Amino acid sequence: MEDELEDRVLHQTYLSFIKILSRFTSSVPFDTPVSYLWKMVRLYILRSEVVIFSLAIIIVFMYLQTIESWSRTMLSRLSQAMNPISAVQRMKLMEGSDADKQSWELKGTLSAAYAIKGRRMHMEDRFIINENINNTGISLFAIFDGHGGEFAANYAKDHLIQNLHNKIVELSAFKEGKLITTPHKESVEENKPKEDSNTIVERKTSFKKSVSTADDTSKKEITDPELLAQLNKARPITREVRPSPKPVRSVTVPLSNYMDKGKINYGKLLTDEVLAADRLLVEAAKRSMNVAGTTALIAVMEDNHLIVANVGDSRGVMCDSRGNAIPVSFDHKPQQVREQKRIEAAGGYIAFNGVWRVAGILATSRAMGDYPLKDKKFVIADPDILTFNLVDHKPMFLILASDGLWDTFTNEEAIKFIKERLDEPDYGAKSLTLQAYYRGSVDNITVLIINFFNSKIVSAGGVQ
């Protein structure tokens, strides 16, 4: 009896629970937005005929896309077969114009460079490889990182480097006692570029050569609108900037002034040429109202000597025989105590705008060009000169690069990276450049590698 009573109690309890649950569910309105939407989906979209029809449309669309792609490929092949152009011409057409290019490379005997536009709209980096100038045994390398446009970087590449090339050839002959006649030069701009037939350089693709940008006042360079807007706000900087009534002329310096105990004084030569080129660049920029500027990192090698001139924040790092990273230049940043004092002494200031900037505008405290800041002497072009005896360091290689690399790599990281890739055809220049891009560099990136493994470093005691 007790068991039957318990069963009845449990049964009644269950029935009561079901009744309560049914009353609760029935009190909830069925036609809520979600339930209504689901009802419409089941009634109209998930019907078998609708699903089959949708799949059929997708298949037809994919088929048409495949046919279109195939037909384009076939037409391209047919046109190539019918059009008798050479493989070289076809390659040039595929490469597109210089403005559309994404990368540049240059290979020398013991050096190589690779550059990419990266995430920037325009390529403003320029580089130079000039090995064994006129069989003098002197090599010249340079990197220019432009900002605010290409004008200043192009000017430095075309004019400063050509003047240095000419002076090195003249001084080399002067040092050997050869009688040379040097025509009077009114201006550095009057030196006409000459092709160096003895320079052993295999050029794969290179930067475009600009037409006499210094003398062409009818064409206005397109500059960075953001930079121009900031310059307009900085009235104390720009209000007194006016084109000079008279063009700046360079002073002809006797060759003997650059000789020191029978050797070329490269420190004085590089300093004079950079400052002379900067004066002419500023004058040309004023005529075309162009506010562009550029850094300058120049390396000269003769026998066992390396001389590096630096203006700005491009950087050179050498790997010695022990694998240590030896800086061969130091960045010019506004927040450095020396630079900040100089800027403030000239009446300027530095402000933080993403990074520390001169007058809140320029992220480097030294540069060529930048005439609105140059006129107030907030920015100068005086290079730092460092000289190295390669016999002391017995270097493996040297890296010269724009700050697009150094934004993502430390000196030690870059040295370690290249050390493992020196056996590549370009000594790892391309790999390092692309790795900086993959790490998130948002700037133009240029890397130039000089490989010392196969070169002869001469000392007084013989060949090392």
Give the pLDDT confidence of 329-383 residue by residue, as tens digits: 999 999 999 999 999 999 999 999 888 999 999 999 999 999 999 999 999 999 9
List the single range of 46-60, 185-199, 254-268 with lowest mean pLDDT: 185-199
Which residue, 368, 359, 335, 341, is CA-closest to 161? 368
For the four alpha carbons of 337, 341, 343 and 347, in that order, the dihedral sign comes to positive
Check residue 56 and give its pLDDT.
85
Can you tell me whether residue 184 is helix, strand or coil? coil
* Spatial CB neighbours of 426, under 8 Å, sequence gap ≥ 6: 105, 107, 112, 113, 114, 449
Give me the pLDDT at residue 72, please. 54
Q: Average pLDDT in the 59-65 region?
A: 78
Tokens linked to 430: 């391309």
Query: What is the rounded average pLDDT of the residues 271-291?
Result: 95
Does the pLDDT of residue 117 top 90, yes or no? yes
Between 237 and 343, name the one with better pLDDT: 343
DSSP-derived letter for residue 144 is: E
Among 20-34, 125-139, 192-206, 366-380, the minimum mean pLDDT is found in 192-206
Q: Is the pLDDT of residue 411 over 90?
A: yes
Q: Which two tokens stand for residue 177?
A: 């006692």
User: Over 90: is that where the pLDDT of 53 sits?
Assistant: no
pLDDT the model gives residue 59: 87
pLDDT score, position 20: 65
When pLDDT is cut at 50, 70 and 90, the band that residue 42 belongs to is: low
Alpha carbon distance, N-terminus to C-terminus of the chain: 113
Residue 52: its pLDDT value, please?
Answer: 82
CA distance 305 to 315: 18
* Encoded amino acid at 312, one letter: G
pLDDT surpassing 90 at residue 390:
yes
pLDDT score of 456 = 54
Q: Looking at the predicted structure, is the pLDDT value of residue 250 above 70? A: no
Mode of pairing for the β-strands spanning 111-116 and 103-108: antiparallel
Q: Taking all residues of the chain, what is their mean pLDDT, rounded to a whole number?
A: 77
Burial class (CB in 10 A: 0-12, 13-18, 19+), 103: middle
* Rounded CA separation 90/79 (Å): 12
DSSP, residue by residue, 230-266: HHHH-HHHHTT----SS---PPP--GGGGEETTEE-H
For the residues 155-170, what does the mean pLDDT come to?
A: 95
Q: Is the dihedral of CA 374, 349, 123, 418 positive or negative?
A: positive
Question: Over 70: is that where the pLDDT of 18 sits?
Answer: no
Q: Which of 9-18, 58-67, 366-375 has the lowest mean pLDDT?
A: 9-18
What whole-number distance in Å separates Cα of residue 259 and Cα of residue 257? 6
**450, 441, 455, 464: which is closest to 116 by C-alpha?**
441
Residue type, 243: P
3-state secondary structure of 368: strand
pLDDT at residue 199, as a whole number: 38
Q: What is the CA radius of gyration of the chain?
A: 34
Q: pLDDT at position 442, please? A: 94
Decide which of 21 and 317 is more confident.
Answer: 317
HSE value, Cβ hemisphere, 13 Å, CA-based, for 265: 13
What percent of the chain lies above the pLDDT cut of 90? 55
Q: By C-alpha distance, which of 339, 277, 310, 302 is closest to 400?
A: 310
Task: Check pLDDT > 70 for residue 19.
Answer: no
Tokens of 232: 């307009």
Q: Which pair of structure tokens corresponds to residue 225?
A: 């609108």
Q: What is the predicted pLDDT for the residue at 206?
A: 39
Give the integer Cα–Cα distance in Å for 425 and 169: 30
Dist CA 292 CA 228 (whole Å):
10
Cα(378)–Cα(351) distance, integer angstroms? 13
% the chain with pLDDT above 70: 66
User: Which DSSP string corresponds to 383-440?
Assistant: PEEEEEEHHHH--SEEEEE-HHHHTT--HHHHHHHHHTSTTSTTTTHHHHHHHHHHTT
- Write down the pTM of the prediction: 0.67
* Cβ contact 118:243 at 8 Å: no
DSSP assignment of 269-311: HHHHHHHHHHHHHHHHHHHHT---EE-EEEEEEETTEEEEEEE
| Tens-place pLDDT, residues 190-219 | 333 333 434 333 334 333 333 333 333 333
Mean pLDDT of 35-48: 70
More confident site: 241 or 362? 362
With a cut of 60, say whether residue 253 has pLDDT above it: yes
Q: Does the pLDDT value for residue 243 go beyond 60?
A: no
Has residue 17 got a pLDDT over 60?
yes
Least reliable range by pLDDT among 190-199, 293-302, 310-319: 190-199
